Every structure is written in C-alpha cells, then in structure tokens.
Structure 1
C-alpha cells in the first residue's frame, strides 16, 4: 500500500485503555502505514547510506500488561534486527511524530560510537541543524533542542554513551501531531527524507 498520512485517529490510539484493545487499534490503524513507510524509506536510506537497509516494524511482542505508549518502524543494515546496530526510526507518541538516528542500549559498540562522536563534537555542532533534538532515552517522549545544549552538555551525552550501560543517544526531529495531521502525504515524506539526509553524517561516523 502507499502511505496515506497520519490522522487524528492514529494519535488517539494511544489513549485507548487496555493492552488488547490498544494493540488491535494499533495493528489496524498504524501498522499498515508504518509498513508503507518502511518499504519506501528502506530504499531511500539504502541509497543515502550506501548500505542495504532493512525495515523492522515494532511488534511489542513482549508486552503482557501495559499497552505501548509509542510505536515505530526502524531501519538498519541488518535483516534480523535493529536494536544492536546504529539505526533510523519513524514513529509516533500520542503528542508527536519522531524521526531519529539512534544508538540504543543493546548496541555492543556503544562505547566506540560514543568516542567517535566525542572526537567530532564540533563538526556535529556545525552539521546538525540547531532545531534538531537530542535524547538519551528512547522510552521517554521528551527531547532537548541542539540550540539549548551547551558544548559541555553535548559532550556529556557522548561520554555517557561510553561509560553507562543503559545509556542511549538519539538525534532527529519531533513533529507536533497538529502539524502532521495537516500535512499532505508528499509533504510528510519530504520532511522525513530531509531529516534523514541531515542525520546521515552521524550514521557515517558510527
């Protein structure tokens, strides 16, 4: 299927009580759109990165009680999974869409990536747009704009990735749901593509 854009109903999925009802709505409303985005952007990211990229739609299979508060499609150069690799994500919380470059806590080469990011902190500051946001925890919806981070705070993010077992690093953009709902399909795809282009330098570093 082609991507048809996100609607108010998609964001309201995360207000549905109970694991099964929310998962049912998620699978019916959102998953087909994430599959469509996966098929499209796995090709685009393969060209941008020079690696063959595979997409993985979140299944939330381990959940037995608490319904998911967000969902996503991830892209990595590994057919079997993405969590152990630097990867890209497109996903939704109740309040916004996120587009990320991510290194999460399962990645075994986190320390090496953190060291490379630390060594290149000034070029990262120059390369990544100031309105892009950074996070150190993919399970939380909040993030901090680059313009609001000092050089020291940015360094601390990269150093933490090297030394703290549960540390993560994510960089990208947040799009408020009200803006996303008004976007045409083409405008949304263009916005995601533009974000990925600007995040490629981080991927290349890692």
Structure 2
C-alpha cells in the first residue's frame, strides 16, 4: 500500500462523539495513512538531516475520556520517542493538515535553542515563507501567519522559549481541509517534501 491522499472521511473522524468510537475511526481511516507517510519520509529526512530519523505515529494511549482533536506522525532521531527532541510532524486537525518543525515543552535544550533562534532572528524572519505559520502551543489548532507577524512578534516567541517552562515553538505550513482533499497523493507528498526542505535550517540550528 502507498499513501492515497486525504479525504473528507479522514477529517470527519474528529466530529465523531465518544473516545472509543473516534479512536476506532481514527485507527481505521487515518492511522494507516500516517504510517505510510512515516515510511515514505523517514529515508528522506534521514538523508536531509544526516541523522537516522524514525517515524512515531500518535497512539493517544493516555486518553481515558476526551477523544483526540488531532493526530499525527512525528519524525525524530530516536526510535523510542520524539517529544524530548527537535522533530518534524505531519498531522490533521478537523480544519487542516499541518506540516511542522517542532520543539515542544519536553525538550531539555529549549533555552539554548531559543538563544540560537534569537541570534538568527533577522535571517529567520527574512527567509521564512510568507504563507508559513508559527505557533507556541502544539495543543491548539490556531497559528500566526508569518506575513502578519513583525520581527518583534517573532522575537517574543523566541524569548518565551528561553524563559517559560511550558513554551514551545513550531513553524511550518497549514493546508486547509478543502485544499488537502483536492490534492493528488503525489502533489501532497511533493508539498511535504518542499516544506521539510524549507524547515531544515531550523532543525540544523536545534
């Protein structure tokens, strides 16, 4: 099996009530696609980063009441986990697909990374594509469009990463649901490939 693209059915999973019911649909519809994306992009990211990269498909195993509102596959240089490390992600909310580079709150070297980001502020501000987005919280679907941010806004995000325990930094692209559904599998894979290449300098910094 190879990646077949996303459909309305995949996004509709997040409208299903009940933890068990939603998890069942997620396992049936979305998880196989995330596993395919994991297989497809691990070699690419290994070659790009120079580290062997392992895919981690979200299991949502700790959930006991609230059904997941998003799901993803993450790529990191450790076969056992990704949350402590700078990583890449492809995933879905009900409204959009996200393709991220991420350093989240579990990462021990957040402060150092925040300083490196600060030192490269002007370059990052200039070179980030206008249609990319930034986020300081991976648990929320909203993100700030780069073209609407000032250099001071970006600096604030970078400083927060150094000083706030729960702070995170994510940068990447959101593809609205309608657009994602209308992309052929190859168009989607090409888009992810180009986003990962664009985000590589951030990974190298981290």
TM-score (norm 2): 0.99
Structure 1 spans left out of the alignment, 5+ residues? none
- Alpha-carbon distance in structure 2 between the residues aligned to 1:127 and 1:35: 31
1:24 Cα deviation after fit: 0.2
Aligned to 2:137: 137
For 1:30-179, what aligned pairs fall within 5 Å after superposition?
Answer: 30-179=30-179
Q: Deviations over 1:102-139 (max 9, x none)?
A: 00000000000000001100111122112110000000
Show structure 1 runs of 4+ deviating over 4 A. Answer: none
- Alpha-carbon distance in structure 1 between the residues aligned to 2:95 and 2:150: 27
- Alpha-carbon distance in structure 2 between the residues aligned to 1:20 and 1:4: 25
Aligned to 1:185: 185
1:153 Cα deviation after fit: 0.8
Root-mean-square deviation (CA, aligned residues, Å) is: 0.5
Aligned length: 206
Structure 2 spans left out of the alignment, 5+ residues? none
SS of the residue aligned with 1:22?
Answer: helix
SS of the residue aligned with 1:74?
Answer: strand
- Alpha-carbon distance in structure 2 between the residues aligned to 1:62 and 1:172: 27
- Alpha-carbon distance in structure 2 between the residues aligned to 1:126 and 1:50: 25
- Alpha-carbon distance in structure 1 between the residues aligned to 2:79 and 2:23: 25
